[in-house]
Copies of this chain bind each other. A is one copy, B any other.
Amino acid sequence: MKKSASAEHNHPLFRQVYGFLVNRMERGEWGAHDKLPSIRLLAEELKVHRLTVFKAYRMLTEDGKVYVKDKSGYYVSPVSRLPSIEEGAAVSAYALTNPLSDIQRVPTKYQFSQALIDPGLLPNLFLSDYVKKVFDLYPKVMGTYSSVQGDEELRETLSRHFRKKHRLQLSSEELLITSGAQQAINLIARIVLGPMDTVLVERPTYSVAMDVFRREGARLIPVEITPTGYDLEKVEALMKKHKPRMFYINPTHHNPTGYTVPVQQRKLLVELAERYRCLLVEDDPFRDMYFEEEPPPPFFAYDTEGWVIYISSFSKYVAPGLRICAVACRYPFMERLITAKSLADNGTPLLNQKIFLHYYTSARLQNHLGKLRIALQVHKEIVEEELAATGWEWTPPQGGLNLWVKLPDHLSVDRLFASSMAQSIAFVPGELFDPLGEMKSRIRISYSFASEGVLREGIQRLIAIAREL
């Protein structure tokens, strides 16, 4: 292989050879006690110096992945093969898992595992009007790609909204449109995280975010979130000690707990982030779904030095099916995010952005939003009414889509989950949200997706199952 054809790497060659060998062993291409290629052969195959292969083999031997026998060569150690996807245990660089998505993939009658809004609560009839409007205004929208960063008109409108609503300094150049918050988290992780980087995450937190961070090789450090927010002294100690690259937060009607971090902590945490150069990644999809009082401004509003990235996915209630999300951040993060977005999918579909824009700026949306808040509160109260007599515990949320319920100690969540799924009732076991994998007496009940009747019936059945256990 010619040199110019090979990828440029930051890593020394012998580490790459090491990765290459580990990779093959993990895939089971070489099993326990299989003889590995000789140094000479592998050096030829990979077009590297024999010393490089020798170094890689030495590393493998030191790690116990490989053993040497009678000077005849290198052999795979019996312990070296790591669990595969099917065995589902370790999150390796190649074995990706997403247990939350696995639960949600199962069709169930009583669907309480999705933190989504019942499509029946969305103004479906009106939405098609906006689509027609979009085609009148932009007849060629189906043949046109958006710019990678996102439609200029949409970014202009959203930056104006943020400036007005939270008095931010924000230009359209500081917004990126992504296909949902999930993509935003993935892109941020790709540009910010490297191996051994530490990430602070709330405990509990959104489980798929943890899957994404681990996929990038990061180590997660939990920060407890309570009804009164974080223990900032502890956060500061963790920042000092671990120099985390980022703190992933969902501070407003938090998923899964429903807690909201109080206003006085917001400014202080931004100051800590600036002092310790720890990026705050603020995921904020539930802000507008409050019940009584509007929540405090986002952390991003207190940021003056560019240490907050703000993921604003109001698409949960505007039109979740469009998958439109806005990410606000400063240079140089924005430049890197745009490149990552271009490699990921080259830009979010223009049609979706334009429909979103026109519905979002309509007077109808505000009207709808008022009704939706009431409907969600009614949903929440249905669950609370049914659970009132059970002795199960929760902190009544002030907004959001979920109830974070503590079951009595004698009740096994594993057994409850298995029996419920068998009766077509889905919820999410609490341990999935816990970076420590504990919280085994907690469950998340999403009250937003099922219609009122189905919700009440399903919760009654869930309680009945629990009584039987």
The listed residue (B142, B196, B320) touching A322 by CB distance below 8 A is B142
Tell me, yes or no, whether A23 is within 8 Å of chain B by CB.
yes
The listed residue (B101, B194, B321) touching A350 by CB distance below 8 A is B321
Given the contacts A11-B22, A142-B322, A143-B119, A179 and B343 also touching, CB distance less than 8 Å: no
Given the contacts A8-B214, A320-B145, A345-B323, A20 and B197 also touching, CB distance less than 8 Å: yes
Of chain B, the residue at the smallest CB distance from A126 is B142
Chain B hits for A147, CB < 8 A: 105
| A-B contact sample (18 more), CB < 8 A, given A8-B92, A15-B18 | A5-B220, A7-B214, A23-B195, A46-B198, A96-B339, A97-B339, A101-B342, A120-B143, A122-B140, A127-B142, A142-B320, A142-B322, A143-B321, A180-B345, A182-B343, A182-B346, A183-B345, A344-B344
Tell me, yes or no, whether A50 is within 8 Å of chain B by CB.
no
Given the contacts A143-B319, A350-B321, A20 and B195 also touching, CB distance less than 8 Å: yes
Chain B hits for A116, CB < 8 A: 145
The listed residue (B23, B105, B142, B435) touching A124 by CB distance below 8 A is B142
Chain B hits for A268, CB < 8 A: none
The listed residue (B8, B46, B94, B348) touching A89 by CB distance below 8 A is B8
Chain B hits for A45, CB < 8 A: 241-243
Residues of A within 8 A of B (CB): 1-2, 4-12, 15-20, 22-23, 26, 44-46, 59, 62-63, 82, 85, 89-94, 96-98, 101, 105, 116-122, 124-125, 127-128, 131-132, 135, 139-145, 147-148, 179-180, 182-183, 186, 190-191, 194-198, 208, 211-215, 217-222, 241-243, 319-323, 332, 335-336, 339-340, 342-346, 348-352, 355, 435-438
A101 to B145, CA, bound (A): 12
Chain B hits for A26, CB < 8 A: 10
Chain B hits for A435, CB < 8 A: 5
Is there an interface contact between B105 and A148, defined as CB atoms closer than 8 Å?
yes
A15 to B213, CA, bound (A): 18
Of chain B, the residue at the smallest CB distance from A26 is B10
Point out which of A208, A321, A355, A436 has the most chain B C-beta atoms below 10 A from its C-beta.
A321
A2 to B198, CA, bound (A): 13
A94 to B343, CA, bound (A): 13
A143 to B318, CA, bound (A): 9
Is there an interface contact between B117 and A139, defined as CB atoms closer than 8 Å?
no
